[in-house]
């Protein structure tokens, strides 16, 4: 949980307030554009214009704090806007050092607990069904009193002074009541209990947070009572920033009525077009992908991530869910004052579907993708014969959306994208696409896209590389970045 902190000011605050051992405190160092990024910066004096320019490059967004009595130059005001800076009062410093600095640690972490680590309690006498990795369905009588219904065999590490956010995805009949039970054992012990927490359904309307002064693993279980059906979808655990954001400071978390999450992070960059939106690809560790790549471009950028299935659920869902994704992008455009032709949607593998699908709604000037996956129904069908066991999330995705794996569900999933794509004109969008010639996930994606772009004046830049879907990720990423640099230089007059 290391933190790299910078302070510029008249006096060294680390001499007045205790700084945690895992904090690397840098007071008035020589600044350079080549410095590694700081997790936190506190400014207590007027900055030169050169210093303000350097800080815009080496301080993470939403991690800049300026003392409220500092003289603010026009360049400092612009720095505050581009870095999402916040003012800090002197009477807040004690609390800031004691309670808040610890939330700006460098490396986030989150995971979706393995659904096949979920075990139904021996005392449950009802029926149990697992729908792939999507959910476990328990139906029956759970009893009149709260009893353990299920538990996860794998534990969650919890360090002293660390906080973890927990989010349980579930559905249930009205006749059932549940609670989440958490037990922390002493490190090295199988029976010594250090802490226990019990969270009701009311508590779980938002994320719940556990924090301990001791080291030791955490055991999670679900208690239930009543009669009916309980669907246990997933339990997510993440390093908590105690309200400062999820995964990255300043990020936003949106939740639907059915408890599905979407995460976004927007960095205003230099406040000039374009807004570069990057959809994370398949990843089992929860969090954002592509931060350093996008940050180096110095443009405004947005990262989008989700983890509803193992690795992600391709950004599709209910109307409510998809509206939240769309609104997050349009809100960022409004904040910056950008039009659709000043937006680039992008992604790799799973993220390509996000870029293309929300391109149907945003109608951006540019879409840059690598290893496109567009016919999600056919991708799932290929799991049976063409790619057995290669990508089980594809069948989970089909089941999640249509509760079936038959040919009708496959066709519906395919049409979900292509029917909308065919209804639109694309003369104002440039597509830059790198694809694998022998792709075993969606082998006809590029070819089909070309055949469906019937609009006169539509522009497609393509590059094929030999291999299956995961055979040359390095080559795909290299071409992806080259197209980003070409687009930024030629279309937005940016030197890269």
pLDDT of residue 189: 85
**76, 47 in Cβ contact below 8 A?**
yes
pLDDT computed for residue 455 by the predictor: 73
Spatial separation of the C-alpha atoms in residues 288 and 305, rounded to whole Å: 6
The reply to whether omega before 274 is within 30° of 0 (cis) is yes
Alpha carbon 374 to its chain centroid, in Å, reads 21
CB 311 within 8 A of CB 282: yes
Helices (H), 33-73: 49-58
In tens digits, the chain (496 residues) has pLDDT values of 799 999 999 999 999 999 988 899 999 999 999 999 999 999 999 999 999 999 999 999 999 999 999 999 999 999 999 999 999 999 999 999 999 999 999 999 999 998 889 999 998 999 999 999 999 999 999 999 999 999 999 999 999 999 999 999 999 999 999 999 999 999 988 789 999 999 999 999 999 999 999 999 999 999 999 999 999 999 999 999 999 999 999 999 999 999 999 999 999 999 999 999 999 999 999 999 999 999 999 999 999 999 999 999 999 999 999 999 999 999 999 999 999 999 999 999 999 999 999 999 999 999 999 999 999 999 999 998 899 999 999 999 999 999 999 999 999 999 999 999 999 999 999 999 999 999 999 999 999 999 998 777 789 999 999 999 999 999 999 999 999 999 999 999 998 6
Q: How far apart are CA 19 and CA 254, in angstroms?
A: 33
Separation between Cα atoms, residue 4 and residue 36, nearest integer Å:
9
Burial of 192: CB neighbours in 10 Å, binned 0-12, 13-18, 19+: exposed
Whole-number Å distance between alpha carbons of 471 and 468: 5
Cα–Cα–Cα angle for 303, 304, 306, nearest 5°?
Answer: 145
Cα separation of 271 and 82, whole Å? 6
Residue 427 tokens, joined: 């003369």
For 6, the token pair is 């910078």
Report phi then psi at 228, rounded to 5.
145, -150
State the DSSP H helix or E strand holding residue 343, giving kind and residue range, or none if neither. strand 343-348
Quote the pLDDT of residue 435: 98
CA-based end-to-end distance of the chain: 33
Amino acid 495: pLDDT: 81
Angle, vertex CA 468, rays to CA 465 and CA 472, nearest 5: 55
Q: Are 373 and 350 in contact (CB under 8 A)?
A: yes
Task: Write down the pTM of the prediction.
Answer: 0.96
Using alpha carbons only, what angle is made at residue 134 by residues 131 and 135, rounded to the nearest 5 degrees? 70
Question: Which helix (H) or strand (E) is 357 found in, with range?
Answer: helix 350-362
pLDDT score of 17: 95
Q: What angle do CA 125, 131, 136 make, to 5 degrees?
A: 40
Distance CA 168, CA 179 (A): 10
Please choose, from the candidates 102, 108, 59, the residue with its C-alpha nearest in 3D space to the C-alpha of residue 83: 59
Strand partners, 252: 264
CA-CA-CA-CA torsion for 469, 471, 477, 479, nearest 10 degrees? -90
| H/E element, 454 | none
Could you give the CA distance from residue 224 to residue 150 in angstroms, rounded to a whole number? 9
For residues 419 and 350, the answer to whether their CB atoms sit within 8 Å is no
User: Where does 26-141 have alpha helices with state H?
Assistant: 49-58, 74-82, 93-95
């Amino acid at each position: 949980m290391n933190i790299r902190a910078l302070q510029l000011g008249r006096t060294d605050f680390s001499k007045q307030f205790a700084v945690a051992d895992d904090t690397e405190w840098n007071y008035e160092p020589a600044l350079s554009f080549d410095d590694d990024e700081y997790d936190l910066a506190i400014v207590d004096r007027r900055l030169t214009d050169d210093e303000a320019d350097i800080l815009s490059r080496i301080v993470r967004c939403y991690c800049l704090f300026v003392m409220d009595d500092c003289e603010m130059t026009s360049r400092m005001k612009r720095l505050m806007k581009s870095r999402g800076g916040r003012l800090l009062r002197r009477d807040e410093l004690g609390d800031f050092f004691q309670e808040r600095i610890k939330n700006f640690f460098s490396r986030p972490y989150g995971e979706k607990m393995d659904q096949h680590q979920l075990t139904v309690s021996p005392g449950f006498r009802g029926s149990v069904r697992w729908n792939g990795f999507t959910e476990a369905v328990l139906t029956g009588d759970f009893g009149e009193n709260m009893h353990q219904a299920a538990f996860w065999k794998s534990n969650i590490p919890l360090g002293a002074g660390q906080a973890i956010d927990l989010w349980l995805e579930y559905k249930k009949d009205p006749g059932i009541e549940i609670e989440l039970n958490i037990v922390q054992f002493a490190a090295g012990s199988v029976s010594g209990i250090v802490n226990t927490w019990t969270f009701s359904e009311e508590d779980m309307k938002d994320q719940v947070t556990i924090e301990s002064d001791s080291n030791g693993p955490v055991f999670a279980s679900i208690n239930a009572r009543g009669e009916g059906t309980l669907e246990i979808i997933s339990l997510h655990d993440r390093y908590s920033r105690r309200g400062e954001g999820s995964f990255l400071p300043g990020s936003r978390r949106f939740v639907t009525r059915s408890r599905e999450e979407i995460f976004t992070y927007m960095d205003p960059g230099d406040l000039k077009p374009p807004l570069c939106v990057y959809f994370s690809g398949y990843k089992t560790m929860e969090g954002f992908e592509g931060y350093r790549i996008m940050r180096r471009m110095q443009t405004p950028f947005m990262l989008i991530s989700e983890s509803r299935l193992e690795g992600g659920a391709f950004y599709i869902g209910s109307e409510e869910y998809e509206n939240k994704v769309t609104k997050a992008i349009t809100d960022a455009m409004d904040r910056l004052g950008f039009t659709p032709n000043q937006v680039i949607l992008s992604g790799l593998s799973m993220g390509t579907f996000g870029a293309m699908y929300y391109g149907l709604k945003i109608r951006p000037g540019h879409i840059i993708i690598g290893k496109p996956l567009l016919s999600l129904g056919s991708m799932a069908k290929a799991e049976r014969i063409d790619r057995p066991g290669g990508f089980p999330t594809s069948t989970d995705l089909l089941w999640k959306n249509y509760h079936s794996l038959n040919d009708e569900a496959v066709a519906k999933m395919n049409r979900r994208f292509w029917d909308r794509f065919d209804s639109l004109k694309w003369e104002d969008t440039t597509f830059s696409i790198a694809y694998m010639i022998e792709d075993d996930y969606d082998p006809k994606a590029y070819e089909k896209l070309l055949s469906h772009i019937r609009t006169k004046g539509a522009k497609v830049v393509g590059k094929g590389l030999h291999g299956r879907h995961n055979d040359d990720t390095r080559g795909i990423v290299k071409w992806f970045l080259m197209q980003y640099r070409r687009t930024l230089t030629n279309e937005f007059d940016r030197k890269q």
